[in-house]
Amino acid sequence: MPPLERLEVDELLLLIRQRKYFVLHAPRQTGKTSALLALRDELNAGGEFRCVYVNVEGGQSAREDVGAAMRAILSALSRAGRETLDDSFLGEVWLGILDAAGPHDALREALAGWAESDATPLVLMLDEIDALIGDTLLAVLRQLRAGYPERPGRFPQSVILCGVRDVRDYRIRSSRENAIVAGGSAFNVRAESLRLGDFSPQEIESLLAQHTRETGQTFTRKARSAVRELTQGQPWLVNALAYEACFRNRAGRDRSRAITGDAVQDAREQLILRRETHLDQLTDKLQEERVRRVIEPLLSGAEAATSIALDDLEYVRDLGLVTRSGSVAIANAIYREVIPRDLTYTTQAMSIHHDPAWYVSGEGTLRTGELLAAFQTFFREHSEHWVERFQYREAGPQLLLQAFLQRIVNGGGRLEREYGLGRMRTDLLLVWPVGGVRGQALAGESRETQRVVIECKVLHRGLQRTLRDGLDQTRAYMDRSGASEGHLVVFDRTEGKPWKEKIFRRDETEGGTSVTVWGM
């Protein structure tokens, strides 16, 4: 996509002309840098401003050594001025300024002299600002704030801070002050906070159409729909899925063959299995306590969001993990797959040793009843040990079931997940290719599949009410997903209750639709 088309350029120009300092933030690998560089070039071509873009991530390795970090930042500013504007002013003075003013005033002094050296207003873009750590980040923010009243004659007319998070969400640990400092107080001159959005459905269609125009290779309707549904427009995922299907997949390189929905689903699986850098960085965030406090209620289907602090929710949203369009939910289907797989990887690898072939009939269908009976036994024997080992204990039973099912379907079928705050349940859809051979990619869109709904609920307000709600929800999901088989799994987490009272199996039929209920 043309980078400037993803920005509200008129709004940005208005803010710059109004001499505002503002924030542009978005999750990683969504196109922030490309957009900033395009805006920089646009501003410089217009002649009204002189604009420099600087990535300050080089100061991260200095951590809280403000002097070393400021040396790296001033050097980067000097290089940007020389390469972008053919301006060598900073290159001649910044070392002397650092020696004279010291690290806690050198940036302000250098920017003041630079702005004063040319009548054309200076616009400064600082990318990866939230990569800086502790006192280094505080030193940068406070020096920008200190020079703000002197703009535009003796300080940049406009400063754009760019990173993953809004500056108001920074919780900066200052060793120098032995305190936590809020980013909003260290940089209280911020006028706006703008968020770079995901691709719209129209932009996704445009991207795929570009590939078709250039190569002649088409995407089927199901393929285009799968890209939209799996990614919800997250830019890195859109590009990665399409690249995997069209270039890494051997069959996809044949431009006479259309890219099918199954090819996109296979591409999704390959991205997850390879733990691509983007996905690996994402799941690394799951270890943070602030992230756990948001994600755990989503995975467990908590009744309400009252226990989630707004600051935590905004932080996790800025990371791109959740969306707030309507109710709070995991941002897209691929993240819904990655998160539980990552949280249960050790469990899958070390404790679940069931051979998938045990549960496949002679006709190639999955014997789901036998599979869930085996899990019921496994849960009784191992749940107390494994659930306690999960960092996300409240969602432990649901995660353990997903780990068990994932181990069985790996390479043969797929497991689709739906969960979110206020749902009071976790919806699982097991999709199995009838007659499929384990390890083969799904080949054709018309291939017969077995679709099984597995609804998970925690016992709440009595068994009869839980069953009534759960059966209604299971049948509704079966109807919506086109499943011919449905199971309701009820986890009883009542402390001290003996297993013989928790474990049961029964069949419930209503309106011609049968659901098997499993108590655990």
- Average pLDDT of the chain is 89
- 361 within some domain: yes
pLDDT band for position 306 (50/70/90)?
Answer: low
- Residue 386 confidence (pLDDT): 74
**d(Cα 392, Cα 293) in Å, to the nearest integer?**
9
Same domain, 189 and 225: no
- Residues 244 and 265 both lie in one domain: yes
Q: Tell me the per-residue pLDDT of 43-61, one tens digit each, with 9 for 90 and over.
A: 999 999 999 999 999 999 9
Query: Model confidence over 308-363: pLDDT tens digits?
Result: 888 888 889 988 999 877 778 899 999 998 998 888 776 665 566 677 788 899 88
CB 405 within 8 A of CB 347: no
152 preceded by a cis bond (ω within 30 of 0): yes
Q: Are 132 and 184 in the same domain?
A: yes
60 located within any domain = yes
| Identity of residue 108 | R
Same domain for 206 and 191: no
Question: Do 494 and 398 belong together in one domain?
Answer: yes
Residue 375 domain flag: yes
Q: Are 152 and 118 in contact (CB under 8 A)?
A: no
Digit-coded pLDDT (tens) for 209-220: 999 999 999 999
CB 59 within 8 A of CB 74: no
> What are the pLDDT digits (tens) for 236-257?
999 999 999 999 999 999 999 9
Q: Are residues 313 and 429 in the same domain?
A: yes
- Chain Cα centroid distance, residue 73: 29
Question: What's the average model confidence in pLDDT over 24-33?
Answer: 89
Q: Give the separation between CA 49 and CA 419, rounded to whole angstroms.
A: 48
- Predicted pLDDT at 171: 74
Spatial neighbors of 474 by CB under 8 A, at least 6 apart, are: 453, 455, 486, 487, 488, 515
The answer to whether residues 141 and 239 belong to one domain is no
Report d(CA 147, CA 142) in Å as an integer. Answer: 9
Domain-embedded: residue 292: no
Question: Does one domain contain both 227 and 363?
Answer: no
Burial pattern 13-38, b for ≥16 Cβ within 10 A else e, equals: bebbeebbbbbbbbbebbbbbebbeb
Number of domains in the chain: 3
Q: Is residue 283 part of a domain?
A: no
List the structure tokens of 284: 């690394």
Residue 224 belongs to domain spanning:
201-274
